[in-house]
Structure 1
């Protein structure tokens, strides 16, 4: 039996287009892959949070209400750049939810983690706008697992892939706290690939450029 999914779009985007419906949107090209995705580096083990400490970057604070959390499984095998890219891919995804809770589609927090006017920028703004326009926020937990970082085929570019689990999260009205009716769009798992680029002006900072998603995708298999 298919199960419900969240009231707005946790899945969208291809490398070239964003074609969505107002709720439960899907990628127009679900089989398109970002080059290099799914190819995990096998160098020294590193945790994104550990590598993020002491890098001298003044990152904006990301905060959530007590009834919501967003967790990321650590990257088990990657180099220092891969760990940094994974850390800021995590920050990018969290910054979108932060902007939703703040009710700000033009949030400076998510803009800190994107290439301006990129597809990742459009993805973030669209996500926030949809929730804000409907008066929705999330409650519960969004869990990201099976986090991998691609091999460094191009200097300063990595693809961070992971599986997002919606099953413990739900939508609610921001003002009243009333639960948003569920929609049934299939699997609660969404495979993400986020193309990250090293910032030219701040050493150690990585910014999202493209986002590709697929509901029930290969990153979530097994």
Structure 2
């Protein structure tokens, strides 16, 4: 058992999301051997973005500030996308991930950041809250480097929504006890890799902002290792 992950690859995914992701070819395969297009990050250059929100071309968005501890770093591959909607959906999907981990580091289950980047009372918002609460209950925070690669964005035909997929590598990302500062390190294993599917919706109130509505995280994702 791998105890290094600060954020367990738990699944919080409504039936509607399963249909949405299956419709765009991103459904849960149920097998770590399935090839995910782009999961190797080919053609993408890596860029570190440990604490700042993803750049947004949309002006006038009052985004929450997420200042992480110095020992926490989130690194996202830079992806080249064909249009502004895809870029915005990806940027705010990344911001949603940041916001969940930020809530863990702040030990704040009601932190405004994850609420800002997720639809109200959506499965994605519930997922964020549950992950933060689990770490609070366990007296844990996060430390180390979490890497995200192979991002893809698929616009869902006939809707204004998008599905963002990417892999995460938490082989150097660990749980840390808040009281003792003890870090729970383990050897690298398949448990460190996950495949994410995040359903994103454009905000109806804030132009240029996208929010997570549905999420599925496949743990022990063999296609993300290597």
* TM-score between the two structures when normalised by the length of structure 1: 0.79
Stretches of structure 1 lacking an aligned partner (at least 5 in a row): 18-28
Asked if 2 retains the 8 angstrom alpha-carbon contact of 1:5 and 1:188, the reply is no
C-alpha distance in 2, partners of 1:153/1:120?
A: 21
Stretches of structure 2 lacking an aligned partner (at least 5 in a row): 27-35, 39-43, 48-52
C-alpha distance in 2, partners of 1:221/1:66?
A: 27
Do the aligned partners of residues 14 and 172 (structure 1) sit closer, same or farther apart at CA in structure 2, a change above 3 Å counting? closer
> Partner of 1:127 in structure 2?
131
Please state whether the residue corresponding to 1:97 is helix, strand or coil: helix
Q: Select which of 99, 102, 112 maps to 1:98.
A: 102
> Partner of 1:141 in structure 2?
145
C-alpha distance in 1, partners of 2:59/2:153?
A: 20
* TM-score between the two structures when normalised by the length of structure 2: 0.78
> Partner of 2:23 in structure 1?
35
C-alpha distance in 2, partners of 1:5/1:154?
A: 42
TM-fit CA distance, 1:211: 0.6
Report which stretch shifted further, 204-213 or 167-176: 167-176
Asked if 1 retains the 8 angstrom alpha-carbon contact of 2:174 and 2:185, the reply is no
Asked if 2 retains the 8 angstrom alpha-carbon contact of 1:64 and 1:101, the reply is yes
> Partner of 1:63 in structure 2?
67
Asked if 2 retains the 8 angstrom alpha-carbon contact of 1:119 and 1:209, the reply is yes
TM-fit CA distance, 1:97: 1.0
Do the aligned partners of residues 8 and 67 (structure 1) sit closer, same or farther apart at CA in structure 2, a change above 3 Å counting? closer
C-alpha distance in 2, partners of 1:177/1:130?
A: 18
Asked if 1 retains the 8 angstrom alpha-carbon contact of 2:12 and 2:127, the reply is no
> Partner of 1:21 in structure 2?
none
> Partner of 2:11 in structure 1?
13
Matched, 1:112 2:116: yes
Please state whether the residue corresponding to 2:176 is helix, strand or coil: strand
